[in-house]
């Protein structure tokens, strides 16, 4: 019988639970309620693509001390039993009369004193993955226990990756790097962009990705218009710049980086834009340090681009990643999150080449005490050309 | 410049908006607030894998009359402008000070009278894809406007697929069928299950899937233990039954069906189980009719399995699908949703072969006035064998 258990040994998950419990204690939280795939995976090692089905909610409760309790649909019991959790409470979902609210409220009442506080991530970049009407019922049923924001408790722990997590992200970065190396076989002048996207996803799987949660990109003369659209049937043409960006997954961990390619000789403006992006990234690789804020990283990259005579463009200039395609913080002018050693980050400068035409460039790093360590294989300094 | 627009023409989206507005009028709702990928895609045609990033919320407001209004991060503006929407309001996200709440509450105050009600899906199989703390701020800022449950309004419209939607689902079912036909090349005795999963995903892409949001399955002697675990390194062995299940996507529409294969000669119990599943599915294909309830479908399938001497197992016995891997209703003993002509459904009986060992079987249909029309190519009556 094929049975894949959690990604790491129990010690890793115990360390995580203890780290969360320390943050919870500091924040005065008596339990933590987790409902999303990355949060549940982080604490338990429970990894499944079944989250794709919106039909069933899943819950993990981490008490102030002791092991987490899973409150989940019966269909997940076999997989959850292979994690380090021993207290697994199940119901037959979906149940239109009570889809886990009774079981979850009972669990919270068991674990949290009547005047206690249940922490729930409800701040930026979070959402509650259960029906809102059931959440209202839950809040009523566990009263006088109150529900309080636990975003900071979860984010301050999850954002510092352990060495096994860093190794997992380095592995999927290497897999994506191997797939990017094959793009010149996949993308030729005349090839429809949608065929390029399919071929690149197949290359990621062949290189060792378990699955491909995200591929985006764009192509156009000297640059592309946006970076989130699906691919269409239009063929690549000489003079186009093609960008591919992937969040491929192995063992539950994501990479998130991109590469640019010119179809035939690159237009001058595109070569200059790529050089500016490369140089700005070099600056960030040399100068990012723990203790800087996310907005400092934004300024560092913006100024490096401006020093190259380039106009920043394309949104935020970097962000976290790991258990999701993107995590906090965001390299924007307003994000005051402190960068700390152990954070895994995407450095993602973008420039405007012409009105409505951009180039973006992205690498993944882990921030160390003495600066960034690359996890993605570094892009070439010069925009690579694919013979048309 | 490669620019892929919405999947269908504007008339299809206008029809959908009008259908939703009719339900809203009947329910006394003055606007509808949509936050999830399938709901936004349904009303606008806005299709992107960028939803994979949890960093940014996205909103569409459908007023009681008139066209929908998009309230979205600036990074999505170019793609949204290619849909039928003309009123597109953007902000620079992520913004830790105000991540769209001001813009969204202003929009709702524009469109909804002060004593009006804003509908939001908050019932079974829904979730709110925005931070809960921002939702609380929104509710406060739009008061005295109230927020009310709009689950039924959305589900009664979305669950009836138009002919262009049925055609889209038929197309991705055919693509998955072509990939299933290649499984004997991909899965041989000795092949690790994780390599089978990778090869099958690559086959789906080569057959024409835009992407593969879901692959699951299992393998084991005479049956498998669960159907939601990721694949491990264990090799397939003679006597194993392999099951692969996919939610592949083309043009934003999902299939969701599975196939079983015996590695070498099939054990008798597995052959009997497959025959029972096939026969129960035949019964459902012959007897399902509009006007039955979801629980009637459950009883029909359960009784058909029992008549074959099989023990039902593996969870609910069917469900909706289309814009998501799974949609309501659920074929369970408790779901009283009426089956209606135009619903696209997965018929998904499962049986227990031995303690902790199951076989599942799944087909996709569209329900017509005179019964089911198959969208997936029908599985073979006898459990197929792959020469070991």
A84-114 tens-digit pLDDT: 999 999 999 999 999 999 999 999 999 999 9
Cβ contacts of A149 on chain B, cutoff 8 Å: 133
CA dist B119 and B372 (Å) reads 33
Nearest CA in chain A to B46: A229
Which of A356, A120, A351, A115 shows the shortest CA–CA distance to A229? A356
Which residue bears the tokens 């620079």?
Answer: B92
In sequence order, which residues have a C-beta less than 8 Å from that of residue A229 and are 6 or more positions away? A216, A218, B2, B3, B4, B48, B78, B79
By C-alpha distance, the chain B residue nearest A337 is B96
- The SS3 call for residue A128 is strand
DSSP string, B323-382: SSSSEEEE-STT--PBP-TT-EEEE--EEEEETTEEEE--EEEEEETTEEEE-SPPPPSS
In chain A, residues with a C-beta closer than 8 Å to the C-beta of B4 are 229-232
Which residues in chain B are closer than 8 Å to A175, comparing Cβ atoms?
A: none
Contact: B216, A48; criterion CB under 8 Å:
yes
pLDDT bucket at B315, cuts 50 / 70 / 90? confident
From the CA of B15, how many Å to the nearest CA of chain A?
Answer: 24
Of A123, A211, A356, the CB nearest to B201: A211
- pLDDT of A207 higher than 80: yes
Q: Among A48, A55, A197, A336, pick the best mutation site for testing chain B contact (most B Cβ within 10 A).
A: A55
Asked whether the beta carbons of A76 and B228 are under 8 A apart, the reply is yes
B37-44 and B151-158 are packed helices; what angle lies between their axes, rounded to 10 degrees? 60
d(CA B289, CA B343) in angstroms, rounded, equals 11
- Dist CA A219 CA A244 (whole Å): 9
* A72, A54 contact by CB (below 8 A): no
Distance CA B44, CA B42 (A): 6
B127/A132 Cβ within 8 A: yes
CA gap B386, B259 in Å, rounded:
13
CB contacts of B132 in chain A (<8 Å) are: 120, 122, 126-128, 135
Q: Does the domain spanning B10-158 belong to CATH 3.90.1150.10? A: no
In the 8-state DSSP scheme, what is residue B52? G
Token pair in block for residue A308: 């190259």
B274, B382 contact by CB (below 8 A): yes
CA distance B323 to B332: 21
Tell me the C-alpha distance between A305 and A296, whole Å: 14
CA distance A104 to chain B (A): 16
Residue B5: the pLDDT is: 55
Domain B163-386, CATH number (from 3.20.20.120, 3.90.230.10, 3.40.50.970, 3.30.1180.20): 3.90.230.10
B381 band by pLDDT with thresholds 50, 70 and 90: very high
Instruction: Calculate how close chain B gets to A11, using CA atoms only, in Å.
Output: 21
Residue A308: partners with Cβ closer than 8 Å, 6 or more residues away:
A275, A276, A279, A280
Closest CA to A249 of A15, A57, A7, A35: A7
Contact check, Cβ <8 Å, A231/B4: yes
Q: At B1, is the pLDDT very low, low, confident or very high (cuts 50, 70, 90)?
A: very low
Taking an 8 Å cut-off on Cβ atoms, the answer to whether B215 and A214 are in contact is no
ipTM, two decimals, is 0.97
Q: Residue A1 — pLDDT band, cuts 50, 70, 90?
A: very low
Count helices and strands (H / E) in chain B: 11, 19
Tell me what the mean pLDDT of segment B136-163 comes to: 98
* C-alpha to C-alpha distance for B34 and B152, rounded to whole angstroms: 13
Q: What is d(CA A9, CA A84) in angstroms, rounded to the nearest whole number?
A: 8
A-interface mutation test, from B2, B7, B359, most A Cβ less than 10 A away: B2
Do A324 and B53 make contact, defined as CB atoms within 8 angstroms? yes
Pairing of strands A117-120, A31-34: parallel
Whether residues A316 and B94 touch (CB distance < 8 A) is answered with: yes
Q: State how far the Cα of A344 lies from the Cα of A327, in Å rounded to an integer.
A: 9
pLDDT at A41 over 80: yes
CA–CA distance, B233 with B196 (Å, rounded to integer): 10
Radius of gyration (C-alpha) of chain A in whole angstroms: 23
Chain pair A-B, CB pairs under 8 angstroms? 260
**A107-157 per-position pLDDT tens digit:** 999 999 999 999 999 999 999 999 999 999 999 999 999 999 999 999 999
Beta bridge partners of A259: A244
Separation between Cα atoms, residue A29 and residue A62, nearest integer Å: 10
CB atoms within 10 A of CB B24: 23
The torsion angles phi and psi of A343, rounded to 5 degrees, stand at -75, 140
Structure confidence at residue A3 (pLDDT):
45
- Rounded to a whole number of angstroms, the distance from the CA of B382 to the nearest CA of chain A is 23
User: What's the first-to-final CA gap in chain A, in angstroms?
Assistant: 49
CB contact under 8 A, A214 and B126: no
Q: Give the best residue of A74, A129, A179, A230 to mutate against chain B (max B CB count within 10 A).
A: A230
Cα(A297)–Cα(A283) distance, rounded to whole angstroms? 10
Confidence of residue B58 (pLDDT cuts 50, 70, 90): very high
Residue B123 to residue A133, Cβ atoms within 8 A: yes
Domain extent listing, chain A: 10-158, 163-386
Q: What is the pLDDT of residues A266-317, one digit of tens each?
A: 999 999 999 999 999 999 999 999 999 999 999 999 999 999 999 987 679 9
Q: What is the DSSP letter of A201?
A: H
């Amino acid at each position: 019988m094929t049975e894949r258990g959690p990604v790491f040994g129990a010690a890793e998950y115990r360390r995580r639970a203890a780290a969360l419990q320390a943050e919870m204690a500091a924040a005065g939280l008596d339990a933590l309620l987790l409902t999303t795939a990355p949060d549940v995976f982080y604490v338990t090692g429970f990894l499944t693509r079944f989250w794709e089905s919106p039909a069933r909610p899943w819950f993990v409760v981490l008490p102030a001390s002791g092991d987490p309790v899973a409150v989940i649909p019966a269909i997940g019991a076999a997989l959850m039993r292979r994690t380090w959790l021993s207290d697994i409470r199940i119901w037959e979902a979906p149940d239109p009369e009570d889809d886990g609210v009774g079981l979850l409220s009972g669990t919270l009442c068991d674990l949290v004193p009547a005047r206690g506080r249940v922490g729930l991530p409800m701040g930026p970049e979070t959402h509650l993955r259960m029906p809102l009407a059931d959440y209202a019922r839950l809040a009523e049923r566990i009263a006088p226990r109150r529900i309080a924001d636990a975003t900071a408790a979860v984010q301050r722990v999850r954002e510092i990756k352990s060495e096994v997590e860093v190794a997992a992200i380095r592995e999927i970065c290497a897999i994506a790097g191997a797939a990017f190396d094959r793009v010149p076989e996949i993308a030729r002048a005349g090839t429809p962009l949608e065929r390029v996207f399919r071929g690149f996803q197949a290359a990621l799987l062949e290189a060792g990705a378990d699955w491909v949660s995200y591929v985006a990109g764009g192509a156009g003369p000297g640059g592309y218009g946006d970076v989130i659209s699906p691919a269409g049937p239009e063929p690549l043409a000489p003079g186009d710049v093609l960008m591919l960006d992937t969040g491929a997954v192995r063992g539950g961990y994501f990479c998130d980086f991109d590469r640019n390619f010119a179809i035939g000789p690159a237009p001058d403006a595109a070569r200059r834009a790529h050089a500016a992006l490369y140089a700005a990234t070099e600056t960030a690789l040399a100068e990012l340090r723990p203790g800087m804020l996310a907005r400092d990283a934004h300024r560092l990259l913006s100024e490096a681009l401006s020093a190259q005579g380039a106009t920043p463009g394309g949104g935020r200039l970097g962000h976290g990643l790991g258990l999701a395609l993107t995590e906090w913080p965001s390299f924007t002018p307003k994000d005051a999150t402190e960068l700390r050693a152990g954070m895994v980050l995407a450095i993602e400068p973008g420039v405007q080449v012409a009105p409505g035409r951009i180039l973006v460039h992205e690498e993944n790093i882990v921030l160390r005490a003495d600066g960034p360590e690359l996890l993605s294989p570094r892009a070439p300094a010069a925009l690579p050309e694919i013979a048309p």
